Amino acid sequence: GAVVSQHPSRVICKSGTSVKIECRSLDFQATTMFWYRQFPKQSLMLMATSNEGSKATYEQGVEKDKFLINHASLTLSTLTVTSAHPEDSSFYICSASGPHGNYGYTFGSGTRLTVV
Amino acid sequence: GENVEQHPSTLSVQEGDSAVIKCTYSDSASNYFPWYKQELGKRPQLIIDIRSNVGEKKDQRIAVTLNKTAKHFSLHITETQPEDSAVYFCAASRTDSWGKLQFGAGTQVVVTP
């Protein structure tokens, strides 16, 4: 149980375009999803917390207008990187948590974004 | 907010020896401490975790210890094998933020045959 799927696994896009990343909980209802970013040889940094049906909470320093998060259902959250630039190239990874924290800490497979 | 420090940043061990990674945390309300193993380009995999009401937990060659008073916890890997080579991250979380993890900086472990 507690499987989290993330898509796409890799994406290359041109500078100025937008990219959408999906995170799905396959066998449980994810009331909360977290989006992390990981630069090469660095740790995972929390970008935002999204609760189903409400606005995401962004960490300090993360531009909410650039990283749009939607958590419209209990099994799907999306992260859209708008007007991507080369400095946005990174490994983006989600995690999902169920009610009362059940199944928390399960990570998606990650998305390697390269902006050229 | 929570701050997790992890040491060392790199660790080289001979196959069969033990490896120890240490983390400290700042938020006394943190009560869940997972350890993750991450191979290059892949997602972090939970290898062991401990909650604040427990001082030690063991799973085969892996063990974690927690000292709540000192606010530090450690990962112990015994009888290391080449497949243990990876980056290991400690993390801390608190009850009122289920799933929200603060990660340490990571430890690159290299096990040489």
Q: Tens of pLDDT along chain B (113 residues)?
A: 889 999 999 999 999 999 999 999 999 999 999 999 999 989 999 999 999 888 999 999 999 999 999 999 999 999 999 999 999 999 998 877 766 889 999 999 999 99
Q: Is B10 on the interface with A (CB under 8 A)?
A: no
Of B46, B104, B105, the CB nearest to A105: B46
CB burial readout A77-92, b (16+ within 10 A) else e: bbbebeebeeebbbbb
Distance between CA A77 and CA A18 in Å, rounded? 16
Q: Which chain A residues have a beta carbon less than 8 Å from that of B39?
A: none
Determine the Cα–Cα distance for residues B1 and B100; give it in Å rounded to an integer. Answer: 12
Q: According to the model, what pLDDT value does residue A99 have?
A: 66
pLDDT score for B104: 97
**CB atoms A44 and B41 under 8 Å:** no
How far is residue B83 from each of residues B15, B43, B45, B51, B112, measured CA to CA in Å?
Answer: 10, 16, 14, 27, 10
CA B75 to chain CA centroid, Å, is 5
Q: Write down the pLDDT at residue B94.
A: 84
What's the confidence (pLDDT) of residue A52? Answer: 83
Can you tell me the distance from the alpha carbon of B48 to that of B99, in angstroms, rounded to the nearest whole number? Answer: 15
Mean pLDDT per 10-residue segment, chain A (116 residues): 89 97 89 92 93 89 94 91 96 84 74 97
B47, B87 contact by CB (below 8 A): no
| Beta-carbon separation of B98 and A110 below 8 A | no
Q: How far apart are CA A15 and CA B66, in angstroms?
A: 46
